[in-house]
Structure 1
């Protein structure tokens, strides 16, 4: 099997494991918090679903990325929060409940928002014929299959067998992390011939997206008078995306589109982890 073929097989499997592990940690109460704490959830999701993709657009233009990489950059920005954001928020003494709720709801919204931004970015950047005839209905169906189905599967296990779900939740998250590291490594290996010439632009572009998204979202949350713990949760959610989803959707169109998310996945834990460590002391006061 070629590198591209292996990547195409590994990405959906990895995403299934990751989304199932997220479902194991969720209950319906995590979704009800949007009613109980509307301000924090609304600001957090506004940053995640609008600010982050917009930054992806702007930075792709600013760094002059080629069309396929530019679309991949927007896909990265549009990807929902990742499960590791919940752990880092907890370590930072942030509002973990808010983090879990944002991850849950943004994962549901991704069924529509990720294909939407894929279409918008393709139309804007791909003037030379890259992905001119996207099957958006087909892509929505595939995103539904690789996100909501495993998420619902994990939640169903949690609802039916709560003791079992709690017992396997940590091993499932560890397995999801193993799959994440593996898929990033395989993607970088498979696309090394494309990555070599693009790393000079892709690296700084995705680093700028990470830092700006965390910094701006934290400041927006503070200006909205959310407390430090809520602002921490929102910033980390903007820093740790579900990059596997971005790669899986990008791979449906072009292997090159997975590169920004793969590169982002290499260092996002370091930047978000450093922010979490910094906020740990401040939130303890």
Structure 2
């Protein structure tokens, strides 16, 4: 078990590198990775099940104890990211599949990797976890509605079918994980450090599978996709921070909201795009899976070296 814990820790620490290397291998030798195509949804369910195993009741208490920062952060996430994606898609005149895929990436909830980045950045970790949890639970409603409003002009959106997909792929596995943790607490606690390894492997396989199925599309439009994704992520990180600052939240909360808004659940984006829009629409989320895990650590490292100073007027507005 100790050996697996060491590997799990390394996998989480060097996740971005593993994603890049595996994606490159899938691009150059796609055949071995195509066999995983039918299992993308199952793999994402495994990731969400792992998330459920790691959640505790205390993670939700901040929502009841001090809901304002959580509401601000989640509201910013579901407003800034979809609108930024919509604007970028228009300005760059993206093809319909890529435009819808970018809006989809902006409409999914925050990813669990953001929690690690917030911790490293000396941000407000309880706020980050609460935002991830709440945005994920709201996703069955918010994601289909946002897509219907913003992406319907490019591709047809079946909101009801997408609602069911999110419930099946995210909500059910998370609830199952929570139940197992509740009734088998000691067993889960003993294996909790290995769970990140399972999640990392599952996400890497998902990314590699989509890359393998889109070699020609990536070769012809790879730079366009990557540029759109980098811009989208940058707007999310910047505007998330500025929104929290404008509402006079303290510095740790600003860092948490910035990273939560900017880092999306790209695995969910890949699964939903593949199931409802086609594999080409999944490419922005694939690029997001790579870039978010590069920009996130860079920003977290920068902030980790800067002392946290309370901003003027922060008293009484702290998230914890």
**TM-score normalised by the chain length of structure 2:** 0.82
Partner of 1:247: 270
Partner of 2:135: 106
**Deviation of the 1:125 alpha carbon:** 2.2
Partner of 1:154: 177
Instruction: Give per-residue Cα distances to partners, 1:127-165, cap 9 Å, x unaligned.
Output: xxxxx3x43322211211001000001111121122222
| Equivalent runs, 1:165-184 vs 2, <5 Å | 165-184=188-207
> 1:52 and 2:81 equivalent?
yes
Partner of 1:136: 159
Unmatched segments (≥5 aa) in structure 1: 127-131
SS of match in other structure, 1:252: helix
**Deviation of the 1:12 alpha carbon:** 1.0
**Deviation of the 1:177 alpha carbon:** 1.0
SS of match in other structure, 1:80: coil
**Deviation of the 1:81 alpha carbon:** 0.8
Of the three residues 288, 308, 316, the one matched with 1:264 is 288
Contact 2:45 2:169 in 1 (8 A): yes
Once residues 172 and 49 of structure 1 are traced to their aligned partners in structure 2, the CA distance between those partners, rounded to angstroms, is 28
Contact 2:124 2:255 in 1 (8 A): yes
Distance 1:186 1:255, change over 3 A: same
> 1:72 and 2:72 equivalent?
no
Of the three residues 105, 114, 121, the one matched with 1:92 is 121
Distance 1:51 1:3, change over 3 A: farther
Once residues 60 and 18 of structure 1 are traced to their aligned partners in structure 2, the CA distance between those partners, rounded to angstroms, is 29
- What is the root-mean-square deviation of aligned Cα atoms in Å? 1.9
SS of match in other structure, 1:275: helix
Which structure's CA Rg is the greater one? 2
Distance 1:250 1:90, change over 3 A: same
Distance 1:83 1:161, change over 3 A: same
Structure with a larger share of its residues in helix: 1
Of the three residues 72, 76, 92, the one matched with 1:43 is 72
Once residues 15 and 152 of structure 1 are traced to their aligned partners in structure 2, the CA distance between those partners, rounded to angstroms, is 14
Instruction: Give per-residue Cα distances to partners, 1:171-194, cap 9 Å, x unaligned.
Output: 112210111122112211211111
**Deviation of the 1:7 alpha carbon:** 5.0
Tell me which moved more, 117-126 or 54-63: 117-126
**TM-score normalised by the chain length of structure 1:** 0.92
Instruction: Give per-residue Cα distances to partners, 1:43-99, cap 9 Å, x unaligned.
Output: 110111111111111111111110011000000001111111111111111111001
Contact 1:94 1:283 in 2 (8 A): no
Once residues 127 and 63 of structure 2 are traced to their aligned partners in structure 1, the CA distance between those partners, rounded to angstroms, is 9
Contact 1:14 1:244 in 2 (8 A): no
Once residues 295 and 158 of structure 2 are traced to their aligned partners in structure 1, the CA distance between those partners, rounded to angstroms, is 36
Contact 1:82 1:237 in 2 (8 A): yes
